[in-house]
Amino acid sequence: MDHICAYDPHTAGLIPQNSPQTQYWTRNGNRSTTWNELCCPIVYNPQDSGTMAILLAIKLGAKDIYILGCGWGKTNQSIFDHLYNNPKNVQKVSNIKIKLLKRYQTDFKVNLFFVCEPFAKGFEFLHFEDLLLSI
C-alpha cells in the first residue's frame, strides 16, 4: 500500500507503521513525526478517511478515481469502531458529504467511480465485474 489515511488522531495512533515505503496521512492540524498532514482550504475539508483518501488522490494528480467497497449508504459501521471507547454514530452518507464529493468532481475536474451499491444521484456506480472488464 502506498498511502494510508486516518482521519481521527486516535485511530492514527493505533495503526502500525511497519512499511517504510508507505506514506501515512492525517487531517489538517494533526501532523506528527510519522504522519503527514493533508492541508487544504476549509471548503475542501474531508469529512472522514474516505473523503480524505479521495482528496489525497486528487492532490497526487489522479483524474479517474475508483472507490472500491466503501459501503457508504449500506452501513454506518466502520471496521475501526472497536477502537473507540465511545463509538461514533455518524451517517456515512450525508448531504454535506455528497456536496463535498460533487465539489471535488467539479472544481478539480476529476471522475469518481464507486464500485459499491448506489448511495446518491450524480455519481458513476460500477459493479465489480464491470471494473474488471475495464482494466
List, in order, residues 6 or more apart from 99 with CB less than 8 Å away.
none
Phi/psi at 100 (5° precision): -65, -45
Phi-psi region of 78 (alpha: psi -120 to 50; beta: other; left: phi over 0): beta
What 3-state DSSP class applies to 81?
Answer: helix
Residue 54: the pLDDT is 97
Residue 56: the pLDDT is 98
Q: Name the band, by pLDDT with cuts 50, 70 and 90, for residue 88.
A: low
| pLDDT of 128 higher than 70 | yes
* pLDDT 10s digits, 7-58: 888 888 888 888 889 999 999 999 999 999 999 999 999 998 899 999 999 9
- In angstroms, the first-to-last Cα distance of the chain is 19
Report which of residues 127 and 102 the model is more confident about: 102
Residue 113: the pLDDT is 92
Report which of residues 111 and 1 the model is more confident about: 111
Q: Name the band, by pLDDT with cuts 50, 70 and 90, for residue 127.
A: confident
Residue ranges making up the domain that contains 56: 3-134
Residue found under cell 478515481: 65
Contact yes or no for 52/40 (Cβ under 8 A): no
Domains contained in the chain, number? 1
* Nine cell digits for residue 47: 469529512
Residue 77: the pLDDT is 65
Tell me the chain's radius of gyration from C-alpha atoms.
Answer: 15
Contact yes or no for 35/25 (Cβ under 8 A): yes
Residue 119: the pLDDT is 85
Residue 97: the pLDDT is 92
